[in-house]
Structures are given as structure tokens and as C-alpha cells.
Amino acid sequence: MRLALVAVLMLAWACGAYAQENTPFDMSPERPAQSEPADDPAVPPDEEAAPVPVEPAPPATPARFRRFLLPDSKLTLAGEQARRTWAIYLSPRQAASPATLTFGYQNAVVVAPESSELSVIVNGTAIHQEQVAAPDGVVSREVKIPPGVLRAGRNEIGFSARHRHRTDCTIESTYELWTEIAASGTYLSFEDPAAAELATAEELSAVGGDAAGKVRVAIVAPALARLDIASELMRLSQALARHINTPDIEISVSSRPPAESAAELVVLLGTAEDLSSLGYALPAIDGPFSAFAPARQGQAPVYLVSGRDRAQWSAALDSLVTPVDRSVDLQRDVFLTEAWRTPNAPMIFVGEQVPFADMGLRSEQFSGRRYTAEFEFGVPADFYADAYGEARILLDAAYSDRVEPGSLINVYVNGSVAASMPITATQGAVLNRFPINFTMQHIRPGLNRIVLEADLRTAADEVCSPGTAADDTPRFALFDTSRFVMPTFARIAQRPNLSALSGTSFPYGRAVDPIAVVVDRSTDDGLSSLATLLARMARSAGRILPIEFVASQDGLGMRDAIIMGGAADIPQEILQQVGVSVESDADWEAGASGSPAPAGPTLDEWRQQVTGSWFGRTWRDFREWLQRTFNITSDMLRFVPEEEAAYVPPPTSGLVIAQSSNPARSGTWTVVVAPDTAALRENLAAFTDLGNWGRLAGHITSFNPATREVDAVPVGQFEFVETVPPSIWNYRLIAANWLSANILSYSLALILACVVLGATTTFLLSRLGRRR
């Protein structure tokens, strides 16, 4: 019986093995068995099956409307802790539409992903957080924005990053930490196709720029060829610059429509009859009209300033200008910076204390090695206190007992070190209204930035054992009750001063009477160059500048003027007046023709420079010691400034801006000159970008468009321009700053005062008292 059972089992096993051997291996998922269809006798097997009807394809989904977000071509979050916020404006349709925020980023290889974090904030709501983990290239993320987060009008967008180093714990290693947000891959996309439609003049602020943050505006005026409407075009350019929320704007003016994708906004100016020939879809225009035209799929929005005749479109233009203009007598409270950084910078006109909370700083703790916080403020064009007095930070902060002596708290003003305070306590400390004083020599008219930096050293960082770099134990705290204290400063303007032009468009920003303008109005290049310049100046001044075109130098009179053009188009007398060489046009032509570069330095020249005479070396060492020890420069050791030589633009320069008083010394002349008008338009559009415009300074500024380098010639001889009512207090502050900047004059005045005091004392004593 048992033998029979074994035999049966062996037979079953053999049959199963044979079946497996003859069945192919199948990795397809299991599926229910399907019965084969039975043959239909009614259909012959050789007859072709009837074609299956093809359903029509569904209509293509329209592309989503995109709005680029970054205010610059790139956004870098550097250091162990960094944050950047700015404001954009959305139309009601955009705010109501479901939206997705897409962004791309890349970080340094040395950033430790497990202890580093990147956050995206919209209107105070953190909509995304992730580890910083993109060292090999740009990675893209898509984030659905929760309903109700976006709103019509102003919206704040922010990126913040927390970085820690993979292996290093030194302060120096924190400079290797960065995350860069990719501009071309960072945008809002809206599901509703109507989000691309704009309607009223208030929605001009919702016009977005390109990936680099610049808005290109094409103004089309068909009547430009036959009517003198250049002044109206310049008013329109400035009004658009004030309406559109963007850090950079470039304006082109023409009588013809622009090419496709050549502008982010097209503005049509003229009568309804003139505009009807341009090929745009226009609404019915029965009176003054200032609004957007019907949207075109995939095309830039079109804004109309029109009417049935010139009087009506002029009235429409006035309605666009009035809301963004400001009276000269009305003092502005803030410097508008929200297009690239929030909050707006407060304007300081007199001595004032500003809490850190009012400038966007908040109380926070910090566990890293190098803490930074920054804020901005503005001062008027007649600020005159760069050689005397001190500003102050009243610091409310604390540091733990882990922080060792030798740590520093540094203050930077516009990128220059202004103060450095060593930490000496060994048991930690709480700083309450701790004063940090610094000179105001780096403060300039217009916008200024102050960076507070704490370099924090600990014993654990010296050892740098595993896990030290990621330690989250706080070692420093800054409180928003800290204050920035600006003392009362002297107020008197200087001429020339291109820094004041850059900061507040002085003196043109205070003009009541029209500013004389000389430019070639017969070409689109000339008018476009002027429109771009005035747009930037209107943003700096915070108002619309009145202008009047004059045909020649004779029409300039004794008033403020702006002269623009190619080097061959500007009279040599004007170039001489502003200190530019009369041969500048020839030099540019030589540079453009590829002439050989100037000869390099010789060995004899360097031998003379290095050795020189004994007196020359001693004098040079003495001047360097004075500057290093007492911050006294050689310019201070003169009774009168040196005579300035004429400036010869180098061949690589594509644009020169020079300023001086007019021949009667009753106004300011600013000359903007390039090799030709085509180069003037192209290079001025690049120079008026926010990053370059802020470097406008001195008496003459030269711009190299190839390298984006800016070279400024310091002001030598200048004259004062009174801007406020006379007062003894202000004159005392003016005298204090002037004497501080002119050491020899101050010393001579002090010696004369001592001599007079001694002589007077001797005279009085010889006449008084008992005689022997």
C-alpha cells in the first residue's frame, strides 16, 4: 500500500515538471480568462471589417497665462540665513483664478540638505517648505496656491533660506552658502484664461515684466510724424513709469506698431481715427478714453489713450497723469522700493529715531555663526553731513554664554564698513539700547542700505565635531525694538552731484518751471532714449517732471537743462562746459573702428613708480598713514580743489553722463552722450536698470555696456545751492561739515582765532588793572 502511494506521488511530480518545462514564463499581471468569440457565420472570414468611426479631437486647452515674479535676473539667498520679499499687483480676475506658483532653484554643493530649508511665502502664508537639495542643477517645483491667499491689488512674495555647511564650522565658510532662484523658471500661472485681461488704469500696476523683471513699453503714436506731440509723449512715459510696479522699465516711442514679443505693454496714443489704421481691436471711442483695449490671445496687453480729437486724448492723458503726480511742496514720507524690496524705505529729513520694526525687521533668534539683518532708508538731495557727525544704532539684542570674546558686531553702510564693535563678555549679555555709533561719510542722497552683521565664535565651532554645524541652540537674538537714530544734519545741495540725480532726480525733481531739453526729436532713437531716462527720473523723484523742448543751445537760457545725443550732435561748447573732452567723438570713432589698444606700461615707468625719490616715498607713506589712522585724505589737505582736467571717454565706454553748472551759474546742465543715437538708446536702456542707476555718482560717470562696469569721476570743484529757508542752525551745521572736509582751512581758522584772542587779551590787559 505504501509503495503504491509513493509511486502515485512520483508520477504526479513528473507530470507537473513536464508542464512547467513546456509552458513559457509569463510576467504579465493576472487577468480574468476571456472566452474566444465564436465565428459568425453571417460574416465571411475574408471580408474586411467595417471602419470604426473616429471621434473628433477635443479642442486644445488654451495656454495658461504666466506672470514672472522675480524683480531681477536672479535672486540669491546667501549666508546661513537670508530672506527677500517684494510686492506684486494682481487684477481682480487674476486674484480670483486658481493659480500655481512655479519656481526653480539651485544651491551650493557645500549646503547640508538635512539641516537646510527653503520656504516660499505669499502674503504672510508659507505655501511651501522643503530641504535645500539641488546642488547638481536647477530643479523646478510647482505649488498650488491655497484659495484666498492671493488678493486683488498688492501681494507680497517672499523666499527665505536657512543654510548650514556640510563639514565646516568657521565664519569664513558661511560665505560659501547660497541658494539661487532661477528667474526664467519662477512665475505664477493662472487657470482662468481671463486672467490675462486687464481693464482700467488702476490695473496698469498688474502689468508684469520679463524674466529679468524689466517691463518694456512700446508707445505708438501715429500722429508723431506730422504733429509736435513729443511733450505729451514724455508726460505719458513718466505716468506709465509711476503706474507700473516694476524696478526697471524701458520705453520705446514710434509711429509704427512694435514687432511681436517686443514689449510687455503696448500703449496707443492718438485720435480714434489715427489708431484704427494700426490693426488693433478697438472699442467704441466717443470721448476721452483711458483704459485697456480688448485682450488678444497670446499678445501683450494694449492700453489706449484716445479720443475723437487731440483735445479729448489730451484730457484722457491728464486723467492718467493726475493720480501719480505730486506737488513740489508736498513732502513724501517713503521712498518706494516695494517693487524689489519691502517694506518701502522711510524718508528722513530731520533728526529722527526709527524702530527696526518700522523698517521690516522682526525679533528673531539665531543659532548660526554669521547673522545678518538689513534695512533701507532715504535722505533728501540736499543732505550735507558726510564729513562730520555720527548716526547711531540703539541695539536691543542678546548673546549666550557660548559666544566667545573676539566675536564682532559690524555695521555696513552702502557696502562699506562703518563700525565694528567687539564682544568682550564671557558669560553672555543682554544689550538694552546699546549704542553703536558710525560716521555718515558713506550716506548718500536718495536710498541707503544698512547691514547689521554679527560674527559669533564659539569653542564648539573650533572643534567642529560631527553635528556641530547643524546645532539649533540659539546663540544670538535681535529684537525689533532696536532703533536707528539719525541726527539733525545740514541741508544744502551741491552742484554738480550725480548722486543726487540718481537718488532723487535733483535738481530736476524739484522743478516748477519746465526743464529745457535738447534731443534729436526726428528719430525714434532720440525720443525713446529721453522717454527711458525720464521714466527712471520720475520714479526717483516721485513725481512727473515738466519739460520743454528747445532746438539749440541758444534756447537753454539760464535754467536747468538736459542735453542728450551722439557725440557729434552735441555742440563742443556744451561738452566743454561739463568737462568732457571736445575730442570725445573722435576717440569713440577710433574705438569703434578697432584701433589698437594703448601701449601697456613699461619697466621704467614701474621702476619710477615703485622707487621714486626719497621725498616722494616719504610723502606717500605719510598720506597713507593719515588716511589709515585719522581718515584724512589728500583732498582735505588743500585750501582749494585741484583744477579738473577734461575727461576723455575711453573707447570701451558706451555712455557718459556729465553734470555741471551752466555758464551763468544759475542752473544745472546734465549731458548724456554716446557715440551715436542708436548706441545712446541701447546703452541708456541698460544703464537705467536699478543696479546700474544706483552707481551714478560724482561729476562724470562712464558706463561700459560690454562689462557693465561703471566709472565715476569724483566731484572736485562745486558750488552750494540753497534749498531750505535760511537759518542760523542750518548754517552752523553747514560750516561744521565744510570745515571737517577742509582740514587746512579749519587749522588756519583756528590759528587765526587764537592769534586774535591773544592780541585782544593783551590789548585789554594793557589797558586795565593797576600800572606800576
Instruction: Give the CA-trace dihedral at 124, 125, 128, 131, to 10 degrees.
Output: 60
pLDDT at residue 470 greater than cutoff 60: yes
pLDDT at residue 772 greater than cutoff 60: no
Query: Phi-psi category of 475—alpha, beta or left, where left has phi over 0 and alpha has psi -120 to 50?
Result: alpha
> Could you tell me which residues are beta bridge partners of residue 563?
518, 671
Distance CA 306, CA 303 (A): 10
Distance CA 352, CA 211 (A): 39
- Model confidence at 552, pLDDT cuts 50, 70, 90, reads confident
CATH number of the domain at 201-324, please? 3.40.50.12090
Do 492 and 360 form a contact (C-beta atoms < 8 A)? no
Interval 163-178 mean pLDDT: 95
Q: What is the pLDDT at residue 609?
A: 59
pLDDT digits (tens, 9 = 90+) for 576-607: 999 998 564 555 654 443 344 445 566 555 55
Q: Is the dihedral of CA 676, 682, 688, 693 positive or negative?
A: negative
| Residue 49 main-chain phi, psi, to 5 deg | -70, 150
- Model confidence at 19, pLDDT cuts 50, 70, 90, reads very low
- The radius of gyration of the chain's CA atoms, rounded to the nearest angstrom, is 35
Distance CA 449, CA 413 (A): 6
Interval 729-734 mean pLDDT: 95
Distance CA 231, CA 531 (A): 10
Distance CA 128, CA 142 (A): 9
Do 370 and 171 form a contact (C-beta atoms < 8 A)? yes
**Among the ranges given (24-33, 236-245, 700-709), the one the predictor scored with the smallest mean pLDDT:** 24-33
Interval 135-157 mean pLDDT: 96
Do 193 and 65 form a contact (C-beta atoms < 8 A)? yes
- Model confidence at 469, pLDDT cuts 50, 70, 90, reads confident
Do 501 and 670 form a contact (C-beta atoms < 8 A)? yes
Q: What is the pLDDT at residue 741?
A: 83
What Å distances lie between residue 731 and 640, 743, 753, CA to CA?
21, 18, 19
pLDDT digits (tens, 9 = 90+) for 65-89: 999 999 998 899 999 999 999 999 9
> Could you tell me which residues are beta bridge partners of residue 56?
none
Instruction: Locate 31 and state its grid cell.
Output: 487577468
The pairing of strands 561-566 and 668-674 is parallel
Distance CA 601, CA 432 (A): 56
Answer yes or no: same fold for 65-195 and 494-588+631-721.
no
CATH number of the domain at 340-489, please? 2.60.120.260
Q: What is the pLDDT at residue 651?
A: 87
> Could you tell me which residues are beta bridge partners of residue 485?
353, 392
Q: What is the pLDDT at residue 33?
A: 40
Tally helices (H) and strands (E) across the chain: 16, 37
Distance CA 623, CA 621 (A): 6
pLDDT digits (tens, 9 = 90+) for 357-387: 999 999 999 999 999 999 999 999 999 999 8
Distance CA 703, CA 713 (A): 12
pLDDT at residue 643 greater than cutoff 50: yes
The pairing of strands 117-122 and 446-455 is unpaired
CA angle 557, 559, 560 (to 5 degrees): 130
What Å distances lie between residue 350 and 378, 387, 444, 592, 649, CA to CA?
11, 17, 15, 49, 39
| Residue 764 main-chain phi, psi, to 5 deg | -65, -40
Catalogue the E-assigned strands of 675-771.
Answer: 700-704, 709-713, 719-721
**Burial class of 614 by CB neighbour count within 10 A (0 to 12, 13 to 18, 19+):** exposed
pLDDT at residue 488 greater than cutoff 90: yes
Would you kindly state where each structural domain of the chain is located, as residue ranges? 65-195, 201-324, 340-489, 494-588+631-721, 728-767
Residue 324 gets which letter from DSSP?
A: G
pLDDT digits (tens, 9 = 90+) for 282-336: 999 999 999 999 988 778 999 999 999 999 999 999 999 999 999 998 999 999 9
**Among the ranges given (352-361, 471-480, 747-756), the one the predictor scored with the smallest mean pLDDT:** 747-756
Top-confidence residue, 418 or 771: 418
Q: What is the pLDDT at residue 610?
A: 58
Q: What is the pLDDT at residue 612?
A: 58
Residue 688 gets which letter from DSSP?
A: T
- For residue 524, the surrounding DSSP H or E stretch is helix 524-541
Q: What is the pLDDT at residue 333?
A: 93
By C-alpha distance, which of 422, 425, 430 is closest to 406?
A: 422
Q: What is the pLDDT at residue 16?
A: 47
- Model confidence at 129, pLDDT cuts 50, 70, 90, reads very high
The position carrying cell 477635443 is 58
| Residue 510 main-chain phi, psi, to 5 deg | -105, 10
- Write down the pTM of the prediction: 0.85
Residue 82's contacts (CB-CB under 8 Å, 6 or more residues apart) are: 160, 161, 163, 179, 372
Distance CA 127, CA 153 (A): 19
Distance of alpha carbon 455 from its chain centroid, rounded? 27
- Model confidence at 1, pLDDT cuts 50, 70, 90, reads very low
Distance CA 212, CA 690 (A): 12
Distance CA 196, CA 292 (A): 12
Q: What is the pLDDT at residue 471?
A: 85
Q: What is the pLDDT at residue 24?
A: 40
By C-alpha distance, which of 627, 612, 154, 524 is closest to 344?
A: 154
Instruction: Locate 183 and state its grid cell.
Output: 528667474
DSSP string for 543-606: SPPPEEE-SSGGGTTTS-EEEEEETTTS-HHHHHHTTB-TTHHHHHHHHHTTPPPPP---HHHH
The pairing of strands 476-478 and 390-399 is antiparallel
Q: What is the pLDDT at residue 56?
A: 53
Do 686 and 708 form a contact (C-beta atoms < 8 A)? yes
Helix (H, G, I), strand (E, B) or coil at 422: strand
By C-alpha distance, which of 723, 684, 697 is closest to 507?
A: 723
Share of the chain above pLDDT 90, in %: 71
CATH of 65-195, one of 3.40.50.10440, 2.60.120.260, 2.60.40.3670, 3.40.1360.10: 2.60.120.260
Interval 233-242 mean pLDDT: 98
Q: What is the pLDDT at residue 476?
A: 97
Instruction: Locate 579 and state its grid cell.
Output: 568737462
pLDDT at residue 615 greater than cutoff 80: no
Top-confidence residue, 237 or 621: 237
CATH superfamily of the domain spanning 494-588+631-721? Chitobiase/beta-hexosaminidase domain 2-like (3.30.379.10)
Distance CA 759, CA 204 (A): 72
Mean pLDDT of the chain: 87
| Amino acid identity at 339 | A
Q: What is the pLDDT at residue 679?
A: 94
Helix (H, G, I), strand (E, B) or coil at 731: helix
pLDDT at residue 34 greater than cutoff 50: no
Top-confidence residue, 483 or 45: 483
pLDDT at residue 6 greater than cutoff 60: no
By C-alpha distance, which of 141, 58, 81, 142 is closest to 106?
A: 141
